[in-house]
Amino acid sequence: MLSSNANANASPHPPASRARVTWWATLGVIACLLLLAACGGSSSTAGTSGAATIPLSTSSFSGTTSVTIKAGQAVTFTSNGTHDLVIGTNGHFSAENGAPSGLNSSGGVAFSPGDTKTIVFPSAGTFPITCTIHPSMQATIKVTP
């Protein structure tokens, strides 16, 4: 004969239900850890989204025209006009060792109104940037090691 206490030790939840709760709890912990990792990290504002932003108005740079970033970081350019940015001065292209390839060519990087482009600067150096369409536009990107 079975004792009336035989069912007293049984869990109120079947094993499949406990496994599901354990799985969801584990998933929740992992999600929290990923969120914390995304919020923490280095104090750098860099990344592929741009360590700095330089806005371009219709015919000039607007706001910051000189920025300092670390090698491997990027600068984001936001345009409200038509521009062709190159390495150089006074609207003239001048090749520089270590400059980003797009800017370091006579064709440059073309912008139309509304464009946002992020350009990575892989090497240390000081890189003058000008617009071949608007020669008075001048910016300087200083890249530290």
Model confidence over 7-48: pLDDT tens digits? 555 556 566 666 666 656 655 555 544 444 433 332 233 334
Query: Confidence band (pLDDT; 50, 70, 90) for 63?
Result: confident
What is the structure's pLDDT at 26? 58
Which residues are within 8 A (CB) of 111 and not within 5 positions of it... i.e. 6 or more apart? 56, 77, 79, 81, 82, 83, 84, 85, 117
3-state secondary structure (DSSP) of residue 142: strand
Q: Which CATH topology does 52-144 take? A: Immunoglobulin-like (2.60.40)
Domain boundaries, the chain: 14-42, 52-144
Q: What rounded mean pLDDT belongs to the chain?
A: 80
**Model confidence at 75: pLDDT above 70:** yes
8 Å CB contact between 130 and 141: no
Take residue 142 and report the two structure tokens written for it. 């200083």
Report pTM. 0.66
More confident residue, 5 or 54: 54
What is the structure's pLDDT at 64? 85
